[in-house]
A and B are shown apart, each in its own frame.
Chain A
Amino acid sequence: MAYEPVLTKFVNEPNSYTLDFYLKHQRGYEGLRKALTLQPNDLIEQVKASGLRGRGGAGFPTGMKWQFVLKDTPKPKYICCNADESEPGTFKDHVLMERNPHLLIEGCAISCYAIGAKVAYIYIRGEFFHVQEILEAEIDKAYKAGYLGKNILGSGFDCDVYVHRGAGAYEAGEETALIESLEGKRAQPRIKPPFPAVAGLYQCPTAVNNVETLCNVPLIVMNGAEWFSSIGPEKNGGPKLFCISGHVKRPGVYEASMHTTLRELIYEQAGGMIDERPLKAVIPGGSSVPILLPEQLDTPASFDHIQKAGSLLGSAGLIVMNDSVCMVWLAMNLLHFYRHESCGKCTPCREGSDWLFKLLRRVEAGEGQPKDLDLLFGVSNNIVGKTLCAFGDAAATPVLTTMKLFRHEYEAHVREGRCTLPASWRAEHPIFAAH
């Protein structure tokens, strides 16, 4: 059965982002109209029944998150849409916002109604200038058409949506760091508990949801929970966007059900490997998750299946690598990113990510010693589980996963004093900033 995209069906149409197009081709704002006739609680129940899981990385059930949002409080409540999308290998939210912004706007309004909020902030990644322009222009149109603002569609429900652009920090995507940044502070995470659902933005009850998560909400309201959960495996329902990058013929964003296997995604959707070279490794969920090997390609790309295979679906950013990629180089490349993006708040991540990078640079350059390998392992383990936010684990993962699966490559670097992959196969080095 061929899968029919619902989130990205029209993204290649020139005018797909306009309100007119949305109303005409995507039953635009029908979901909102319908939602406003329901009780907020029933809406939450519907989202729970659909089994929608957060698309931001953790796969936490969205309905449950909304239910945790404190009800009995005189304080205002907020929806924060996480549009920081900075995980290496992840570029799906960008497409939704740029090509289908009204779906997100509608999702924000419905979600506000569901949790009793009147304001949604879309926290958008620092580099997304043009996306912000599009979003803000379309939000304006939604206001003028009466889908946002006061007394929406005559229901008495008021809702405002604002776009706030960050200053360009990966860590700003962590939900509490995002909230801090929205409040005008450094994007550094808070201690949890309290969770945002209890004390979030301005210490008020807040739900932080990913762009793709919120985009699914109007679809669930319109088509029903059953429709949603029938797409994909049990507890992994709904349409899903996959970002496929690396040594594939057609890198890009693909929409599929979570029944789809990694092999299908890579070899059918993305057109297979460039030059038909063998696939060496795939990181299935953005740079922070463990590597899967060629023999695991028949794993369905669902939260639960990927987890069972020993990795995580994360942000569904598939980074596909052929046999030219040196795994020590890969780890070094990623650690360059993590030590640059560490917010520096907590000791193990701030100090450890820098140390790991320096060790990797030395080993990769062929100047490492056997003790450096033990050290890489030891330092990584001293980070994992000891940090304030999940960044620490993410930063150590590239080292731990490559050492676990490709230790022989590390050993070869130390033994031979150089990378042993044929030079012509080497991927180009990243250009490192001065340190």
Chain B
Amino acid sequence: MDSVTLTIDGRPVTVAKGKTVLQAAIESGISVPYYCYHPGISIDGSCRVCVVKIEKMPKLQTSCSTLCADGMVVSTRDRDVVEARAGVFEFLLINHPLDCPVCDKGGECPLQDFSYTFGPAESRMDFPRRVFDGEGVKADVDFGPTLMLNRNRCILCTRCVRFMKEIDGDAQIGIVDRGYGSEIATFQEQGVHSLISGNLMDVCPVGAILTKDYRFKSRPWDNPGVVDTICTLCSKGCNTSAWLKAKPEWARGSRLIRMTPRYNPDVNGYWMCDIGRFNYHWIEGENRLRRPMMRGSAGSAAQAAPLEASAWHDVQPRLRDRLQEAGSGGAFHFLASAHASMEELFVLKQLAEALLGGDAMKSVSIGWEATEKPQPATTKFKVPVTDAPNVNGARDLGFAVGRGNEGPADLSGLRKAVEAGTVKALYVIDPAGPKGSLGDISWIAAARRSGALSLLVVQAVVTSELTEAADFVLPGSAWVEKDAIYTNDQGRVQAASRAIAPPGEALEDWQILVNVGRSLGVALPYESSGDVRRALAAAMTGYSEAERLAFMRPVPASTWMQASNPSERWKWDFLFQDLPPTKGHNVQMEGLPAQATPFIPLKPVQ
């Protein structure tokens, strides 16, 4: 790759050809403020805060729109630059409400941060501020199903306009009127209707666009932990960060407070979809399974007896007995969701092989759903149809997945066998949210109620029609509650990190399978998910890197707060280099040093 060398503030800087002076400054840790520039969208050159002085150029230049050239001599600290920049900051604030104390962006706001660094100490403005829809948070107006807009805070950087036009593909946001009367608007105030609307909150450098989900919920200093992980709600596998709120045990509300995208050029760029961003409330919701459950006493009356919460050490032996009764061969079947991780499917495969021998792979079905997502044809961020993260992983393990990520799973064969009574016992593993991830499975519940199935074991995370029909309910973990790897639709193996602990007595799903196996006398020599990954890496081609994937632990938000806007986490890597580095957090498989997977203490199982 061609490179160019220039001098910024007396420092020689070498960057790839085609980079702008602003990018060069950011890459070399030199602070230059910017608002209209965002690395994921086109250059606008309108906010004017990124001005620098370049030798041989008569006027100050906006660094975001100036390409680096060999021998260029740039100053970001020249008196002219400092004064011009401060002037622009003064302009940006003369009409800004400065309601930071009630603004949800407060504490992670580039306008706050950069103004403190580069702006004048005080404003000379003594006219009333421009007001659009009211004052304070009363000026928040509905901006579509997911967002709120506060026009008073808007600095007209047009990032949102460009995001909708260039990334979403449907230019729903525009500016109406001009000059000092310019305001952000949508057609007839309809607001933004998009599957990727949540990105607008990240893109907006101020508190003008907020998600309804996060508004009034927390402040960055209330979020002491942030965990880099991935989203597992579809086959894309967007790299994300899970934000945790500080909260005493007894207090209401959840710890998981929001999801934000994390830059990965090969997977999701700077973005994520609204499904992945907003669909996390169930994880700490009312319907979570917290304790194992089973029906009264053993024997013929089992189906009539109510499901009762029990302890693992009571459930375990009973489950063993019933599984042994169910026997082997075609009569016993596993149905696993493609939401199950590589570790879980790997252990399941070994368990099935030990129990069912040669019929094992025929006796495990993999299920998932697929839904067409309505998006503009020109969108740059396509949300895939497959609503599960690991269909490719299941295929790599040798399970039959049909057309794979191209459409939904075909469970019609299994359904026939269950309804015909050929399959007598079914063990379902589904660690996905409220509606499950297997599509319409009312036929399973019906088969158990009718007696066509004589045993139904459900390992899941939330109550459902299925768990209600089950003989045994085993509480597993959502993806943010366990360290696990998934293979996305590109075949990329990615790590999802444990951000919070599973609730109550729920266990990580690999552990449940290991425990079930051991009770049946199957030797599954794993004490941690790391053990499983090591075995998996050794056994499977193409997965040798799997055991070296890095799992993240909560990073203190003090470091995060320096990052200002979550979508600009990359900035923090470069700009705030005097802070403790956590380099490598956004690189999943790029030669990271081997890192021991920390052991997750589990409750003893008797």
Contact = CB atoms under 8 A, between A and B. Distances in A.
Contacts of A358: 127
A339 B179 contact: yes
A347 B88 contact: yes
Interface string A379-392: 00110011110000
B48 A388 contact: yes
A355 B128 CA distance: 11
B87 A351 contact: no
B75 to A, nearest CB: 16
A344 interface: yes
A160 interface: no
Given A346-B48, A351-B94, A385 B60 contact: yes
B91 interface: yes
B46 interface: yes
B49 interface: yes
B154 to A, nearest CB: 12
A351 B47 contact: no
B91 A347 contact: yes
A347 B179 contact: no
Contacts of A378: 124
Contacts of B180: 339, 342, 344, 350-351, 353-354
Contacts of A347: 46-49, 88, 91-92, 155-156
Contacts of A191: 43-45, 62, 65
A190 to B, nearest CB: 8
Interface residues of A, number: 30
A186 interface: yes
Contacts of B44: 191
Interface string A347-379: 110111111001000000000000100010010
Interface string A333-349: 00000011111111110
Given A346-B47, A348-B48, A382-B87, A354 B179 contact: yes
A195 to B, nearest CB: 13
Interface string B169-183: 000000101111110
B416 interface: no
Given A344-B180, A347-B48, A353-B179, A386 B87 contact: yes
A283 interface: no
A349 to B, nearest CB: 8
Contact of B45 (A169, A344, A381, A388): A388
B88 A382 contact: yes
B84 interface: yes
A94 B178 CA distance: 26
Contacts of A186: 175, 178
Most buried by B among A344, A347, A348, A385: A347
A342 B179 contact: yes
B178 A351 contact: no
Interface in B188-238: none
B60 A386 contact: yes
Contacts of B91: 347-348, 350-352, 355, 382
A348 B181 contact: no
A340 B125 contact: no
B435 interface: no
A343 B127 contact: no
Given A382-B91, A386-B84, A386-B88, A344 B175 contact: yes
Contact of A340 (B47, B65, B179): B179
B61 to A, nearest CB: 10
Contacts of A386: 48, 51, 60, 84, 87-88
Contact of A351 (B51, B59, B95): B95
Contacts of A346: 45-48
Nearest to B86: A382
- Chain A CB within 10 A, most for which of B49, B155, B182: B182
Interface size class of B (residues with CB under 8 A): 20 to 34
B90 interface: yes
A340 B156 CA distance: 17
B84 A382 contact: yes
B48 A382 contact: no
Contacts of A388: 45-46, 48
Given A355-B125, A382-B90, A344 B178 contact: yes
B80 to A, nearest CB: 9
Nearest to A382: B87
Nearest to B80: A385
A350 B51 contact: no
Contact of B182 (A169, A344, A371): A344
Interface string B75-87: 0000000001001
A351 B129 CA distance: 11
Contacts of B156: 344, 347, 350
A343 B177 CA distance: 9
Contacts of A345: 46
A344 B181 contact: yes
Given A378-B124, A385-B60, A350 B87 contact: no
A171 B65 CA distance: 21
Nearest to B90: A382
A386 B60 CA distance: 7
A169 B94 contact: no
A186 B90 CA distance: 26
A352 B91 CA distance: 7
Interface string A155-182: 0000000000000010100000000000
Interface in A283-329: none
B175 A375 contact: no
A6 B130 CA distance: 51
Nearest to A355: B94
Contacts of B127: 355, 358
A174 to B, nearest CB: 13
Interface in B376-424: none
Nearest to B89: A347
Contacts of A371: 124
A62 B412 CA distance: 75
Q: Which of B46, B175, B182 has the most CB of A within 10 A?
A: B46
A397 to B, nearest CB: 16
Contacts of B49: 347
B178 A169 contact: yes
A346 to B, nearest CB: 5
Interface string A168-210: 0101000000000000001000010000000000000000000
Contacts of A344: 156, 175, 177-182
A242 B178 CA distance: 31
Contacts of B51: 386
Contacts of A353: 179-180
B124 A375 contact: yes
Interface in B142-189: 155-156, 175, 177-182
Contacts of B62: 191
A267 B87 CA distance: 43
A346 B87 CA distance: 13
Interface string A65-100: 000000000000000000000000000000000000
Contacts of A382: 84, 87-88, 90-91
Interface string B30-51: 0000000000000111111101
A178 B110 CA distance: 33
Instruction: List 4 A-B pairs, minimum CB-CB distance, nearest first.
Output: A382-B87, A342-B179, A354-B180, A344-B182
11 contacts: A342-B178, A342-B179, A343-B179, A344-B175, A347-B91, A351-B92, A352-B91, A358-B127, A371-B124, A375-B124, A385-B60
Given A171-B178, A354-B180, A388-B45, 16 more contacts: A169-B178, A186-B175, A191-B65, A341-B178, A346-B45, A346-B46, A346-B47, A347-B46, A347-B91, A348-B91, A350-B91, A350-B182, A355-B91, A382-B88, A385-B60, A386-B87
